[in-house]
Amino acid sequence: MAMKKLALFSLLLNLAMFLAIVLAIVPKTTGEGYGGDDDDCGDLLGSDLYKDICPEAEAIIFARVRLAVFQDTRMAASLLRLHFHDCFVNGCDASVLLDDTDNFVGEKTAAPNLNSLRGFEVIDAIKQELEFVCPQTVSCADILATAARDSVVVAGGPSWDVQMGRKDSLTASKALANNIIPGPNSTIGNLVAKFQNVNLSLKDMVALSGAHTMGKARCTTFAARLQDSTNPNGPEASLEFIQSLQQLCSVSDSSTLANLDLATPEMFDNQYYVNLLSGEGLLPSDQNLVTGDEQTRELVETYAQDMSTFFQDFKDSMITLGRLGPFTGTKGEIRRNCRSVN
């Protein structure tokens, strides 16, 4: 009996130490809420929303994200991408998380998302824990925004103040997801148009593209790059790089994956931009940032030379992304289950 009590005490002590570590290193959201004349919902978003009503929220999200990335390093990129795909369709409202039902079609089966988006089970686990601690308090949309930030932090990237107060949508749009989320073969003109459509600038586009410093892509998404036989000294492609991709994708398996960043695929850094200047951008849309427009090339060169500038611009663009048309106030709801409306 004494041994059992000692073992239980040890377990509780270890758990307490783990929670203390998490609370000590979790990224803090300490900045003031923001707003402005051009942002009709900015004054309803703030950084201290859960300070009193669910003070454990950010620590829980961070701990779950860190565990998920520890178990699968690719998950950092997946959680970041979930937030991006959510915000592009009717704003950051967690519409991307809704499952199809007999009477409802969500966004998960849209072409940019089907067999591509990952990490839903991580969001489920976070939501389940938060519902136990703070029932119907933290929205799924706020979880997505915070998990995206924490994924970057866990992978070695910068932190930023996540503004809170989004509500979850009651519906979704597969049609919009099909039409407005940028595709891997996009030209610069197409990319600029789609980002401007949601009030994101050319600079935002280039900075947010830096998220491709992590993660993987299927061979089917960069098939156009496999046909590129440019000489290795040219600006468009590295011949050695293209040949390595051709070899990788020569097997008749559409699920074959390649790292978006061959050099440091699990780290959030500026290597993505260095790769582009060497002709080693995986997706056609990535390499087009160098070859398709002088303005985007100049930004790529800046970020390749100065990681701190990239980090700052990425943080600013993520904050801008996170404030795209969220439901706030009395609009929307706080779902009990992120996969379905209440």
Question: Residue 95 annotated as binding?
Answer: yes
And the tokens for 324? 């795209």
Provide the residue type at 339 as one letter.
Answer: R
Question: Residue 93 annotated as binding?
Answer: yes
CA angle 75, 76, 82 (to 5 degrees): 80
Cβ–Cβ < 8 Å for 89, 169: no
- Closest to 289 in 3D by CA, of 204, 199, 217: 204
And the tokens for 247? 């070899």
Question: Residue 261 annotated as binding?
Answer: yes
- The DSSP H or E segment spanning 257 is strand 257-259
Strand partners, 217: 258
Rounded to whole angstroms, the Cα distance separating 167 from 139 reads: 6
Cβ–Cβ < 8 Å for 22, 63: yes
- Closest to 265 in 3D by CA, of 119, 156, 120, 139: 156
Question: Residue 91 annotated as binding?
Answer: yes
Work out whether strand 216-218 and strand 257-259 pair parallel, antiparallel, or are unpaired.
Answer: antiparallel
Question: Residue 182 annotated as binding?
Answer: yes
Whether 85 is a known active-site residue: answer: yes
Question: Residue 212 annotated as binding?
Answer: yes
Quote the crossing angle between the two packed helices 294-305 and 202-209, to the nearest 10°: 50
Strand partners, 333: 168
Rounded to whole angstroms, the Cα distance separating 248 from 250 reads: 6
Question: Residue 10 annotated as binding?
Answer: no
Question: Residue 107 annotated as binding?
Answer: yes
Cβ–Cβ < 8 Å for 157, 65: no
- Tokens 């969001």 locate to 123
Q: Going by C-beta distance under 8 Å and a sequence separation of 6 or more, which residues neighbour residue 21?
A: none
Rounded to whole angstroms, the Cα distance separating 333 from 342 reads: 8
Instruction: Say which of 64, 74, 83, 85 is annotated catalytic.
Output: 85
Question: Residue 264 annotated as binding?
Answer: yes
And the tokens for 19? 């929670």
Cβ–Cβ < 8 Å for 123, 82: yes
- Residues marked as binding? 86, 89, 91, 93, 95, 107, 182, 212-213, 261, 264, 269
- Residues marked as binding for substrate? 182
**Catalytic residue positions?**
85
- Residues marked as binding for Ca(2+)? 86, 89, 91, 93, 95, 107, 213, 261, 264, 269
- Residues marked as binding for heme b? 212
